[in-house]
Structure formats: C-alpha cells, structure tokens
Amino acid sequence: MNSEYRLDLDNLKEQIKYLAAVQGITMNRLKQEVNAKYNKTDSVRNLGNKLRNKTFRVSELAEIAEVLGYELYLHRKTN
C-alpha cells in the first residue's frame, strides 16, 4: 500500500473513504474511532455532510488522518 497520498479537494470524501476501506474500516467505524479518541459525539452523517460541502476544519481532517495512521503536512508546489 502506498504510504503517501495527495489529497484533492474535489474528491476528498472519496479519497478518505478509499483510505479507510483499504484498511478495512467503514466510515461509520472511522467516525466512531475519531469520536472515542477525541471525545466527540458527531455522527457519520455529519462527517459526510462536512466532507461533501467542504465545511470541515483542518483539525477534523488531522483527526481522521491520525485514526487512519497518517499525518498531514504542507509541501510547497514547484511550478
């Protein structure tokens, strides 16, 4: 499995679903694990809405990445 992925805002929801599925985790299970680890009560529907509408916070994306075993970093583009 590739250990590095470039996220694309146009299909971020599908990318997160893919990364979870590769690890055998459903979106429901992913959200349960995020809720447990970070003491939250959000629903999977709420997560789906935020991803679809692109209204999630960077901290929420970092929490998802952490649960999936990834970390976020910024890389300067080279044009």
Against a cut of 0.95, is the pTM above it? no
Please give the Cα distance from 76 to 14 (Å, whole number): 24
Longest C-alpha distance within the chain, in Å? 42
In a domain, 4, yes or no: no
- For the chain, which ranges sit under pLDDT 70? 1-2
In a domain, 79, yes or no: no
In a domain, 35, yes or no: yes
Burial 38-57 (b: 16+ CB within 10 A, else e): eeeeeebeebeebbeeeebe
Q: How many domains does the chain have?
A: 1
Number of C-beta neighbours around residue 7 at 10 A: 14
In a domain, 14, yes or no: yes
In this predicted structure, what is the pLDDT of residue 40? 94
In a domain, 2, yes or no: no
Provide the residue range defining the domain that includes 56.
Answer: 9-68
In a domain, 77, yes or no: no
In this predicted structure, what is the pLDDT of residue 1? 55
In a domain, 76, yes or no: no
